[in-house]
Amino acid sequence: MERFLEVAINAAKGAGIIQKKSLGKRLKIEHKGEIDLITDIDKKSEKYIIKMIKSNFPEHGLLTEESYKDSLEADYLWVIDPLDGTTNYAHGYHCFSISIALIIKGEIVVGVVYDPIRKELFSAIKGKGAYLNNKPIHVSSVSKVVDSLLCTGFPYDLHTSEINNLDHFLNMMMVAQAIRRDGSAALDLCYTACGRFDGFWELKLKPWDVMAGALIVLEAGGKVTDFAGEPFDKTGIEILATNGLVHHEMSRILLKGKRP
């Protein structure tokens, strides 16, 4: 597992260099949807990560945001978001990350999320704990939602679908201490893992958004499920990640709103 982690870290850091060099410069931006962007830096970062992984593990499968769509059922599958927070990046807002996870026979076993601006590397190997820049991290000890700083995000079909998280946001806002919306689900999960947030929820995400971060939360002592508290769905359709102590209360609030 250490070899897998080493390759993932090197790939994430290399992509981070690419992103820092181009931050604030003129970008080639395309629209995958009305508010769903992709830049040339997404593509360059993904190309770099894929090259690193394929040169070390040529037989492994790839599931990436832009290029490869191998099955989640592959024995060895790398799940990659080369730039999580593209809209932030395109606007020069310093909240974005690289997310890389490895799934072996259906289990997430390695997770890496790298913030190149803050040089924060979150990592985990299944069963071996979670780390920030090689130092162990753990979820918070907050036990009530009223005392919690939470985080969420909104789906790309916000303008066209009634299932858009606005009802959940309102319901949670009326109970929680405060809520943030930062635009990088991978970082939101890692911030939950290290105790900066006490809980995170979102819907209509993709596997590459949540795989690495979910493992990091679990290895930091947290809990990850769907809104109803059922086992986490790797597709990312619903995710609730918490310190475990506010999980049931957050679940009850989320069940009052619309679900996919």
Burial category of 2 from C-beta neighbours within 10 Å (exposed 0-12, middle 13-18, buried 19 and up): exposed
Considering the domain delimited by 2-136, tell me its CATH architecture: 2-Layer Sandwich (3.30)
pLDDT confidence of residue 74: 85
pTM value?
Answer: 0.94
* Arithmetic mean of pLDDT, 211-238: 94
Given a contact cutoff of 8 angstroms between Cβ atoms, the answer to whether 254 and 179 are in contact is no
Provide the CATH topology of domain 145-254: D-Maltodextrin-Binding Protein; domain 2 (3.40.190)
Range of lowest pLDDT (23-27, 59-63, 231-235, 250-254):
23-27
Q: Kindly report, residue by residue over 155-210, the tens digit of the pLDDT.
A: 867 687 889 899 999 999 999 999 999 999 999 999 999 999 999 999 999 999 99
Domain boundaries, the chain: 2-136, 145-254
